[in-house]
Amino acid sequence: MKILVINAGSSSLKYQLIQMETEEVIAKGGCERIGIAGGKLTHKAHGETYVVEQEMPTHTDAISLVLKMLVDKKAGCIASMDEIDAVGHRVVASGEAFKKTTLVDDKVMETMEEIAELAPLHNPAAILGVNACRAVMPGKKMALVFDTSFHATMPDYAYMYAVDYDDYKKYKVRRYGAHGTSHKYVSGEAAKYLKRDLKDLKIVTCHLGNGSSISAVKGGTCIDTSMGFTPLAGVPMGTRSGDIDYAAAEFIFRKRGMDLSEGLTYLNKKCGVLGVSGVSSDFRDLAAAKDAGNDRARLALDMFAYSCKKYIGAYMAALGGLDVIVFTAGIGENTPDVRRDVVSGLEAFGIELDEKKNNFKNDGAIHEIQKASSRVKILVIPTNEELVIARETAALL
């Protein structure tokens, strides 16, 4: 069985074609600058990289080009579109409308339009991607795989905000979380790696990338997560503020003469470690700046680690104990100093990092980085959101 995974953004689109029996990626690539001058497709298959520079005015043009590459005599890897058994689409937000992976039909797409405003930066792009695929591959089975599904198991007292209950009922304002496919994948992989039953494990998964979220996973289900109604909440991120007192935010907006929409853009794009450091949103740049003596870069990194540490502590309490901490995503997989700073000081809770093991060179494998005496396992697991989307799609068929 072959599944095509599509992750559509507003002006970009990433894809992977996965052979499900072996879970091997047969081809992958991305389209950039859809709807903007200078369209470009980068396609990787059988060890080669192919670049096509071509205008892609719409997502339908982009999908058509992707399919053309997949069946191309030289760059391709399948004889015809018929070899694709189904398409799995990544969708950021499901609201309360969808609790699990869902097969696409007209009714489902109508609901998708209705909930688009829940993730205005992301969901409309996913709709464009689905509609483009339906136009180019009529009749092909397609699934929507939601970043929020894994968090749908949170108890009400964890997902509710303490606002007027009618606002929750009427507007569905509550915590939904994000990065669910990643949290699901790494918690499952942790159990497999440890040869333990996932049902018996209490895990805190730290997805630390440009956007970061931390989840509490009990027996394989999510019981709490740091992101909220949108991916703005939780720990400070590359450019997002993370948790903040709303009165403080409103005070800044007023002082700077920003309206609410400008204020939200500010919190999403100009804050986080970029805002604090004034250097960069990229943790590699921050580490270099800190090493060169930049104290605001040091402060940004300290704030990030401290916030992650607090979430681990909170989730240890929510879980009623802790067996495993998992680090994943760009920062979690590649930055030993951040991992060290996040767990330092937690020794009293049985969390003991082995400095030497922590300093491994990333080779794409799972690494165990706790001391032999540590009660809690600390794992670094490369995430694979596309594989989860493909698995979920295959399972639905």
Residue 284 CB, nearest approach to ligand ADP (Å)? 4
How deeply is 73 buried, as exposed, middle or buried, from its count of CB atoms within 10 A (0-12, 13-18, 19+)? exposed
Residues that bind ligand ADP (CB under 6 A): 209-211, 238, 282-284, 329-331, 334-335
Residue number with CB closer to ligand ADP (173 or 287)? 287
Residue number with CB closer to ligand ADP (352 or 386)? 386
Residue 288 CB, nearest approach to ligand ADP (Å)? 10
Residue number with CB closer to ligand ADP (33 or 68)? 33
Instruction: Give the closest residue to 70 by CA, choosing from 2, 127, 9.
Output: 2
Residue number with CB closer to ligand ADP (76 or 242)? 242
Which residue sits closest to ligand ADP, CB atoms considered?
A: 330
State whether residue 38 is helix, strand or coil: coil
What is the CA 203 to chain-centroid distance, rounded? 18
61, 147, 323, 341: which one is catalytic? 147
Q: Do 36 and 52 form a contact (C-beta atoms < 8 A)? A: no
Residue 251 CB, nearest approach to ligand ADP (Å)? 29
Task: Report how far residue 271's alpha carbon sits from residue 283's, in angstroms, rounded to the nearest whole number.
Answer: 14
Instruction: Give the closest residue to 213 by CA, choosing from 173, 243, 177, 176.
Output: 177
Look up 147 and say whether it is catalytic: yes
Render the burial of 160-176: b for 16+ CB within 10 Å, e for the rest. eeeeeeeebeeeebbbb
Q: Do 10 and 127 form a contact (C-beta atoms < 8 A)? A: no
Residue 362 CB, nearest approach to ligand ADP (Å)? 7
Residue number with CB closer to ligand ADP (283 or 311)? 283
Residue 282 CB, nearest approach to ligand ADP (Å)? 4
How would you classify the pairing of strands 324-328 and 377-380?
Answer: parallel
Q: Do 89 and 6 form a contact (C-beta atoms < 8 A)? A: yes
Indicate which residues carry an active-site annotation. 147
